[in-house]
Amino acid sequence: MPYISIELGKTIMKVAVIYNRESTKVINLFGVPNREKYGLESIQRILNALKKGGHQAVAMEGDKDLIDRIEEFMPRVIKGELPGMALNLSYGIQGQARYTHVPGILEMVGLPYVGSNPLAHSLALDKVVAKMLFVQNDVPTPEFAVMPTADSPLPDLPFPLIVKPKNEAVSFGIQVVHDADSLKKAAQNIFDEFGQAVLIEQYIEGREINIGLLGNGASVETFMPAELIFGSNGPQIYTVEDKKRTSGREIGVQCPADLDNETAQEAQDIAKKAFEVLGCYDCARVDMRLDSEGRIYVLEINSLPSLGEHGSYVAAAEAMGMDFTALINRLIETASSRYFGTPQPPKLQVAKPSPKDALFGYLTENRDLIESKIENWVSTSSRTDDPAGIRIAAQKLDKTLKEIGMKAVDTFTDHRDIWTWESPKGFRHGTLFISQLDIPRGLNSGYEYFRRTPEWLYGEGIGSSRAQLVQFEFMLRAMKSIRRFSKTRVGFTSYADEGRHCDKSAEIISKAAARASRVVILKPGNVGDYMILSRRGQQQYRLIVDGTSVKLGQTGRYTDIMKALYQKLLDVSALNNRKARIGVSAVDIKTEAFPERLPHRVQVIIQASYPTIAKGRELHSALKRIFKGDGLRWDLISISERPPMIERKANRALIETLMHIADDWDIPLMTEASLWPSPAGLVPDPVPVVCGLGPVAKDLYTSREAVSRISLVQRTLMMAQFLLNTTEE
C-alpha cells in the first residue's frame, strides 16, 4: 500500500501495470478484436522503471480476471491509507471503445489509475465526435465527412483525401486516396474489416508533428514538438505497418522538430486546448499536420500514448531531459497528485509525523511482510498432540520475540505447555497479551496449505493462532519503529494446550494475569467485526456406567443399561435453558460388551456450558442427582473445567478505550457474548480483561479456516495504538 516518503518527497506505492497481449480470458469471443499489443520487453522495461522509482509493481492482463488479481495484489485499505495505483496500458481485448474497458473497471472497483477516464477515451476514439468538438471550440482540424454505410453518397471534398475507420486508433485502416474509385474501394475495405462508419477528411500535404502532454489543469506541460520523418519512399503518413515495423521503411523521429519558436509555441498551445476540450488526464499525444503555409491542423488525440521504446512520446520526453525511468515515475506522480494532492513538499518543509501516524505508516508499509510472516507460520505445524511440533513452534516464537527485545519470564514458563515473555520494562502495571500456540486438530487430519483470496487468508490454524502471533509481533515492531518499545510495559503468554482445555496452563495463566494491570486475549474476532465481552464457562465430564453382562433376550431381573442411560440423557436434555444460558449435552458415547452379549459398560462424554460459576455449580449438582439409581453404578468425573468470562465493572474503561481508538481510525468494532470459553475466564478479578481482539476469522478448526486481510491490519494498528496510549512518555 502507498505511503509518503518524507526523504524523497514522493509517493511510494503498489502499482499494477495493466496491459493486453494474448489474453483470451473472456466469456465469449465477440466483437472487433484488439490489434494493439505491448511487447513483453516493453512491459518488463516499464516494471523495471517503476521498481527503480521505489514502487512495488506487477504486470497483469486486463481481462475478466482483472478484479481478482487487483484485489489479491492490493487489498482493501484502511482509513488514511492511500490505495494503490494502476498504470493502464490496456487497449482492450475486443468490442467497441476498447480503451474505456479497463478504466471503467477501475472506476467501478475504486482504484486510481494513470490516464484519462472512460469518457475522455471514448471521445478521443470517436474521431467524428472529437472533430466536431474541435470545430465547436476553434481547434483547427481538417474538413471532414462521414460515410455511415457503403452505399452512402461520396462527400463533396477535394482530393486527395484520408480514409480511416471512425472508431479505431493507431492508424488502423488509414489510407490516402486520390479519386472516387479509390475512395469507394477504401471505404468498402473499412466496412468489411471493421464493420463501422468511415471518416473521410481533407489530406493536408506537409509535415506531420505531434505534441506530448503530461500533467493536468493549469500545470499540464507540453513536450517540444516531435516530427515524423517519412523519407522519400512510401506514403507521407504513419501507417499501422510503420508502427509494427513491417513496412520495410524506417520512420524517424526528430525532437525537437525544426520549427521556429512561434510555430512551436502555437502547436503547443493548440495541443493544450485539444487536451482540455476532450477532458483528458495525465498524458496524451496530439497528432497534427503542418501545411506549406505554416497552418496547423489537429488530426486526433491519442489518449493512451505508446510507452514503447521507439514511440515519439518517449522520444519527446527524452528531449525534455526525462529518461525512460523518470518518465514512467513522473506519470505515477502526476496521477497521484491528481487523486491525492501529492507529491509532498520537500523534506525540510515536512513536519515530523506524530507517533500515531508513524505507527500507521509502519504497519501499512509492511502489509505484505505481515502476510508473508503468517504464510511462514502456517507452514509450521504445532497440533495439540504433537509435542515435537509445539517445541519447534515455541523455539521459533522465542527467537522472534527476543530479536525484537523481549525476554523470557521463567516464573510463568514451563517450556512444555506455556511460555511467557516481557519487554525490558516488564509487564507489571502493564498489559499482558495471551494467545494460543497449539492447533486443536488430530494428527491424522489433512494439512491445510496457505492460500490467499482478495478478502481472506486461508491456512491451518491461521485464525485461531497464526495471525495473532504475527499481529503481536508487528505491534511490537511498530512500537520499536517509533522508539517507544523500550518504554512499554507489555508481556506475552503463549499456551499450547487449547486442545486440552488449558488443563496444564490454567494455573500459570491465572498467576501471570494477576501481575498485569490489564489483559487482552488475542482470540479471533467473530465475523461482523466483534470483540468479546463475556464467554460462557465450560465443563466436560466423563460418565462411566456399569451394569450386568447379559445375552440378548436373556430373562431375569436386571437393568437394561442402554435404556436407563438414554432415559437419563433425556432428563439431562431438560436442563437446557436458553434464557438462563445453560447448555448441556452428551457429545460422545462408547460401549463395552463381551462377545455375543449386550453392553455392560458405557462411557459418555458430557459437555456443559454456563454463564457464571454459581450456575455451573448448580448444573453440576443437577447432573449428580440425575446420574444415580436404577441398579447401576454411575460415576460422573470432571475431566476439564474452563471458567466463564463475566462482564464486570473493571472492564468498562478498557472497553471504552478500545472503542475510542477504533472510532478514531474508522475501524469497525462491535461487542457480543460468546458460547466458547477462553483463557479470559482465568483472569482474576479485579484485573480488566477483553477477548476477541485478534483479526476477524471464520470457520475455525476446519479446512476452511480463514482470517480477514483488512481486519488483520486494522486490529494490529488498533492494538499498537492501544500500546502507545499506555506507554510512558
| 22-63 tens-digit pLDDT | 666 655 566 665 666 778 899 999 999 999 998 989 999 888
If phi over 0 gives left and psi between -120 and 50 gives alpha, with beta otherwise, what is residue 173? left
Highest mean pLDDT among 75-84, 336-345, 698-707: 698-707
Collapsing DSSP states into helix, strand and coil, what is residue 271? helix
pLDDT of residue 21: 75
- Three cell numbers at 62? 486486463
Measured distance CA(455)–CA(662) in Å, rounded: 20
pLDDT band at 227 (very low <50, low <70, confident <90, very high): very high
pLDDT of residue 717: 97
Please, where are the H alpha helices in 627-693? 652-664
Measured distance CA(697)–CA(523) in Å, rounded: 9
pLDDT in tens, 84-130: 899 999 887 666 677 888 999 999 998 999 999 999 999 998 999 99
pLDDT band at 170 (very low <50, low <70, confident <90, very high): low
* β-pairing verdict for 431-436 and 518-521: parallel
Span 658-680, average pLDDT: 95
pLDDT of residue 28: 56
Measured distance CA(408)–CA(421) in Å, rounded: 4
Whole-number mean pLDDT of the chain? 90
pLDDT in tens, 541-570: 999 999 999 888 777 777 889 999 999 999
pLDDT of residue 34: 60
pLDDT of residue 218: 87
pLDDT of residue 532: 95
pLDDT band at 670 (very low <50, low <70, confident <90, very high): very high
Span 598-606, average pLDDT: 95
Residue with C-alpha cell 482478495?
454
Measured distance CA(502)–CA(367) in Å, rounded: 32
CATH of domain 537-641: 3.30.70.360
Laid out side by side, the sheet with 161-165 consists of 144-147, 198-202, 161-165, 175-177
Residues near 119 by Cβ (< 8 Å), separated by ≥ 6? 279
Tell whether pTM > 0.85. Answer: no
Rounded to 5°, the CA angle 590-591-593 comes to: 155
Say how many CA atoms lie within 13 Å of 337 toward its Cβ: 20
Q: 445 pLDDT exceeds 50?
A: yes
**Using N-to-C axis directions, what is the helix angle for 355-365 and 709-725, rounded to 10°?**
150
- Three cell numbers at 132? 466536431
pLDDT of residue 82: 76
Q: 8 pLDDT exceeds 80?
A: no
Looking at the chain, which residues constitute the CATH 3.30.70.360 domain(s)? 537-641
Q: 610 pLDDT exceeds 80?
A: yes
Q: 9 pLDDT exceeds 50?
A: no
pLDDT > 90: what percent of the chain? 69
Give DSSP secondary structure letters for 501-515. TTTTTHHHHHHHHHH
- Three cell numbers at 17? 501495470
Cα dihedral across residues 315, 320, 323, 325: positive or negative: negative
Looking at the chain, which residues constitute the CATH 3.40.630.10 domain(s)? 362-526+646-654+689-725
pLDDT of residue 172: 66
pLDDT band at 196 (very low <50, low <70, confident <90, very high): confident
Superfamily grouping for domain 123-340? ATP-grasp fold, B domain (3.30.470.20)
At 144, phi and psi to the nearest 5? Answer: -150, 165
Whether 631 and 558 have beta carbons less than 8 Å apart is answered as: yes
pLDDT band at 349 (very low <50, low <70, confident <90, very high): very low
Measured distance CA(108)–CA(122) in Å, rounded: 17
Strand extents, DSSP E, 536-600: 537-546, 583-592
Least confident of 90-104, 471-485, 650-664: 90-104
Span 143-165, average pLDDT: 89
Residue with C-alpha cell 482540455?
276
Looking at the chain, which residues constitute the CATH 3.30.470.20 domain(s)? 123-340
Higher pLDDT, 167 or 328: 328
Integer angstrom CA distances of residue 637 from 57, 288, 541, 574: 61, 92, 5, 21
Q: Letter for the amino acid at 520?
A: V
Least confident of 17-31, 135-149, 584-598, 669-683: 17-31
β-sheet bridge partners, residue 283:
214
CATH of domain 362-526+646-654+689-725: 3.40.630.10
For the beta carbon of residue 597, count every other beta carbon within 10 angstroms. 13
